[in-house]
Homo-oligomer: A and B are copies of this chain.
Amino acid sequence: MIVVLKAGVAPAEEKAVIEEIERLGYRAHVMHGVSRTVIGAIGDENTHASLESLNAWPQVENVTPVQKRYKLVSREAHPEDSHFRVGKDTIVGGREIIIMAGPCSVESEKQLMVTAERVAAAGAKVLRGGAFKPRTSPYEFQGLGEQGLKLLAKAREATGLAVITELLSEDHVNMVAEYTDIIQIGARNAQNFQLLVAAAKTGKPILLKRGLSMKIEEWLLAAEYILAHGNRQVMLCERGIRTFETYTRNTLDLAAVPIAKKESHLPVVIDPSQGGGRADLVGALCKGAIAMGADSLLIEVHPNPKEAWSDAAQQLSLDGFEKLMKELKPLIAAVGRV
């Protein structure tokens, strides 16, 4: 860590800082500059106590860590791209760009089966569908619950698609893990650390959405919780951050794709449906995501978006999805993927 002292600090105050640094097991290295004194604290920041409490000392201007705070998720720790199987034979993180598609919410058997068949035929490998829905208002549709999970399992059986669904509660962790191939942690729960740990322990692959105002570093640290609890099968999913712009529901931070892939070995997924909140933007956002290196796309598709029970404005129709899949082909080829 690097500790910068305020201008004009007395020698005794400087000495006190040095003693504290050494008390915590670091070696202090002092540099007297022109207007400020800087102290390097040499020692492993991941095994020694943090020096951030020095921020509370009146003679200290600031304390800056030098090492990255994440370990297991970092590219330094694992230079190769991670890849792993989801469902029977789909590999995420490999050369193939994996398309996950399906309705925002599971609404009925018919709605789900029709969607599953059509998205499978169009090339999707994973079926998405919410059985438990986190809704801003308590008066909105909250999902079909276990009945929805059963329909997802049925659609898997019929189509061979793997299944992804959101886990909202520690109380549901066993139930959800029983039915799903991938556990989704939603943006609102991205720093619900207890839920992350509970999900990790199922051993299932996990798709971790970035929170609405989460820095990339925090997102990687949330993933670190999962790896630190023994589950290395994590996908990082960018789904838009909250800004002042109002033409879109969120601002999809596509730069997060190359950054996450540089900092980490984990596969990166883009959610263009939540990311823009508008069906008419989904196509362009998918294309951008592929061009920038995303490993997978998570797309909302509904047999009749006009009557969807949630997020109607951002769901593609079945025909719209088929058309999009065709449009993506040349781009996928252009970036050397399949």
Which residues on A are within 8 Å of B, measured CB to CB? Answer: 2, 4, 7, 20, 29, 31-36, 38, 40, 42-46, 50, 52-57, 64, 66-67, 69-70, 76, 134-140, 168-171, 188-189, 191-195, 211-213, 215-218, 221, 224-225, 228-229, 241-248, 251-255, 257-259, 262, 275-276, 279-281, 284-285, 287-293, 305-309, 312-313, 315, 330-331, 333-335
Contacts and interface: CB of A to CB of B under 8 A. Distances in A.
Contacts of A217: 246-247
A130 B281 CA distance: 34
Copies of this polypeptide in the complex = 4
Nearest to A2: B2
Given A55-B312, A56-B306, A284-B293, A33 B42 contact: yes
Nearest to A262: B280
Contact of A255 (B70, B171, B248): B248
Nearest to A312: B53
Given A138-B229, A248-B255, 17 more contacts: A2-B38, A46-B139, A135-B193, A136-B191, A138-B193, A138-B228, A168-B193, A169-B170, A217-B246, A243-B251, A244-B244, A251-B255, A284-B291, A287-B291, A288-B288, A288-B292, A333-B334
13 contacts: A4-B66, A52-B312, A69-B139, A138-B224, A138-B228, A168-B194, A213-B244, A248-B259, A255-B281, A262-B280, A287-B291, A287-B292, A291-B331
Contacts of A259: 247-248, 281
A330 to B, nearest CB: 4
A224 to B, nearest CB: 6
Given A42-B34, A241-B243, A241-B251, A306 B57 contact: yes
